[in-house]
Structure 1
């Protein structure tokens, strides 16, 4: 059998995309110019807003197109899929719209918010089955039910109708802005990239299609390097919308033919892209949804094109878990290379912390974690704001070394960023005179240094925790070694320096985890 007979031709895909009935339920979404990011990168960046779809992601297009193209008999028998994410919601809404019975199989571990969303979109037309603790178990169960009952399985990406449905995004892109030089597309299973690439390359062969993958689930990159589809041993779950172990068969064929390049980004770079997207649009992308922006930034920094480009990306989803925002906020500056994390060893003596800060020559400290240890040296965990990402950190480390302060870069140390930053502390034996205070002071560049200078060095600091959250006020938790007969003097000093403060020595959290 010839390749043409085995697979749809590019012209066939073009036709399927042009006649896809997705607008029965999907929107022709906005194409926004990212003015702040464009000015910073010196290229025009445009973002296709698939977060504006009713299910907050592009998945609705492919799901609806697949079900709409079924025969009446297949629709009467019903459809089934396995998904814990955006595809499930797309199938649910599509089934509801077309009055087709759908069964959606999800792992038992699926968060209630996603289960409730599927139930809400599907209404009486959707049955939800929760089974197993992994997607693989749910998928196998769905496939078994499809065979048993004659349901049509609606794949999340590796299907011609699904690919064509996602390709309608490319039609809208081309209609809105025909002078795009490049389009960056997130890749999980490859349905979105395949649909967009096959359409745009027929109409504008010289346009560059760049696939963007999380470096924790780069199945397309691996397949292109080896020339065949290969299963990843494991995938990361931060960008769960693209956490796919193996690229689809048909999607790989199309990406191999029409995608020009693949670039991978890490979690910190994704977090920075979420922040960039929010700054320009006030939309909060899910990690997979921000991949294209992260890829645009990384590609431009690596290639440095000599002419101004018109670049498009797709915000492909905004179904983010609210609590993930805490992680995103912590990591965005690191991803932008505007913050570094260093460990430093300083003498365990009065004034050493202030001397260390003076060595930083006015640079803004974004975080400082320290706990007294009864040794000659103290180890501190420091976040440092950077103005020049490429050269500033090496200069800081060199200056510390010059002053006999050992410094170590932890900016790429996942354990340090994820866990250790929250664990610096603990009990210290024989520290019987420790007193704990919380402080609030106006936040501005150099505020922490000013706070330390005002505090003075009369009493040894035994604990210090500070994190700059870009708020109007800075907050510090600090411990002091204060003999009983000097307590009144300490309180008088704190009253005189004028900062809002509160003694926390009786706080039960201190007694449980920190007090000697």
Structure 2
């Protein structure tokens, strides 16, 4: 056992700036997953990340000579904030090299703490290489974000807190892995005192450098690193961290961006806090571990490692969370091109809520609609929905796992149609509730041919649909009759036929 590490962890100087974070239960997720799920709230640190622990411990232990040289580091954000705050606390000049892809909220936070920031490279490896060039040129003292015994020991204090705060049964701990400092520090301490507890590393599938190193038996540089979970966007596991993780980590789970988005939602539902993608990594891995191993009745703990997320990133998270949770199916369905087909299809869906409905008239033969439908990951799955529709004669293509469909095509359905004449476009607003779309179609009736339809459930109190209409009541009736009929429907509407966006892209 690495007794020198245990001593380093117990003597680590972290609480001058860090706080002892609580362990919270996750009752909603626990009930759904049939396990007792706990979360360690490192997002509650002064910099909203665990990184303050390792950074401060390393800097506080420097010699006076090394401090006077000034310190430098490379970081995708959270370690940079830890170094900046630690340097400010200790009165040391700090220079931080950050990838140009670092979220703006992290860059601003580092500058606010008094450090000098240099943006260089698209990924961490490029920022790291440049920072080492500056060390050689100017003699700065380098503060490594993970591959240093003092940094590892600082992160290991989380393991001390876990075993002190939770003295009961604990079956497994899930730790996010980037460069490996957090995983190494926590696993060393937990395995020393409680070797019965399984320690599982969790990696984003597009930056799984520990999994690759374990597979190859040596540290390996990844050809590509995904930036969605920027806090763990590391191409190669650290040398020292790999040595420790290989000995003390029991396994590695990898997760997708959709699964991370679902975990962000899970954490919000149980704690009302919003974490960053890397912060939700461990919860995503915990859920996948339960699913893959059919685990029930156990006590499982995940580290919420940080909450430094750009606000605009939440748009993507909200869009993908239901897919990651397997609570939304995305389908391409072929229906007859005739009045009443939309209503018949909605009736075929039963009581399921429609989350999205996109259609554009193309030919008289058949209609292709792009539809999102709420499903249940256990009871009413997307596979069951596809089977149900196919049994009723519909041609269905399940696009739930089609990245092109989710990322691009869902936003592009529509366009122009040369076969349409005398089309008029209206935007309707109706109360958002289960069955709302079907009720709207029922009120619209068969008096119109629907040539364009766009609807998306945004979680608001009211649903909004854009509808193109031709046929009886539009091109053969006077405006007064059309207005009178639409008013009978009872939903607020506005005609958009003269809208420049419609003319430029759809007419």
Give TM-score scaled by structure 1 length: 0.94
Query: 1:237: which partner in 2?
Result: 227
SS of equivalent residue, structure 1 residue 477: strand
1:57 to 41, 44, 49: 49
Q: CA deviation at 1:220?
A: 0.9
Q: Which runs of 4+ in 1 moved over 6 A?
A: none
CA distance 1:89–1:367, shift in 2 (3 Å)? same
1:483 to 467, 475, 489: 475
Which digits, 9 at most, give the CA deviation of each residue in 1:206-261, with x for residues without a partner? 01101111111111111111211111110111111111111111111111111111
1:222 to 205, 208, 212: 212
In the comparison of the two structures, how many residue pairs are matched? 503
CA distance 1:473–1:95, shift in 2 (3 Å)? same
1:11 aligns with 2:3: yes
1:78 to 70, 80, 83: 70
**1: distance between equivalents of 2:410 and 2:105?**
30
CA distance 1:220–1:397, shift in 2 (3 Å)? same
Contact 2:363–2:419 (8 Å) recurs in 1: no
Structure 1, unaligned runs of 5 or more? 1-8
CA distance 1:137–1:251, shift in 2 (3 Å)? closer
Q: CA deviation at 1:375?
A: 4.3
1:297 to 274, 287, 291: 287
Query: 1:202: which partner in 2?
Result: 192
Which residues of 2 match residues 253-332 of structure 1 at below 5 A?
Answer: 253-306=243-296, 308-332=297-321
**2: distance between equivalents of 1:220 and 1:128?**
29
Query: 1:101: which partner in 2?
Result: 93
Contact 2:18–2:46 (8 Å) recurs in 1: yes
Q: CA deviation at 1:134?
A: 4.8
Contact 1:181–1:310 (8 Å) recurs in 2: yes
Which residues of 2 match residues 122-137 of structure 1 at below 5 A?
Answer: 123=114, 126-137=115-126
Contact 2:202–2:253 (8 Å) recurs in 1: yes
Larger displacement relative to structure 2 (389-398 or 313-322): 389-398
Q: CA deviation at 1:355?
A: 1.5
**2: distance between equivalents of 1:369 and 1:133?**
36
**1: distance between equivalents of 2:458 and 2:135?**
51
Structure 2, unaligned runs of 5 or more? none
Give TM-score scaled by structure 2 length: 0.96
CA distance 1:213–1:425, shift in 2 (3 Å)? same
**1: distance between equivalents of 2:76 and 2:204?**
19
SS of equivalent residue, structure 1 residue 13: helix
CA distance 1:140–1:387, shift in 2 (3 Å)? closer
Which residues of 2 match residues 499-510 of structure 1 at below 5 A?
Answer: 499-510=491-502
Q: CA deviation at 1:454?
A: 1.1
CA distance 1:107–1:258, shift in 2 (3 Å)? closer
Query: 2:135: which partner in 1?
Result: 146
Q: CA deviation at 1:488?
A: 2.9
Contact 1:342–1:407 (8 Å) recurs in 2: yes
Contact 1:433–1:484 (8 Å) recurs in 2: no
Contact 2:430–2:463 (8 Å) recurs in 1: yes
**1: distance between equivalents of 2:384 and 2:118?**
57
Contact 2:172–2:198 (8 Å) recurs in 1: yes
**2: distance between equivalents of 1:107 and 1:362?**
48
**1: distance between equivalents of 2:377 and 2:72?**
52
**2: distance between equivalents of 1:449 and 1:233?**
49
CA distance 1:47–1:110, shift in 2 (3 Å)? closer
**1: distance between equivalents of 2:178 and 2:422?**
57
**2: distance between equivalents of 1:201 and 1:470?**
45
**2: distance between equivalents of 1:458 and 1:341?**
29
**2: distance between equivalents of 1:263 and 1:75?**
39
SS of equivalent residue, structure 1 residue 387: coil
Instruction: Tell me how large the CA RMSD over aligned residues is.
Output: 1.6
Q: CA deviation at 1:378?
A: 1.6
Q: CA deviation at 1:395?
A: 2.7
Larger displacement relative to structure 2 (196-205 or 213-222): 213-222
**1: distance between equivalents of 2:100 and 2:291?**
42
**1: distance between equivalents of 2:121 and 2:171?**
45
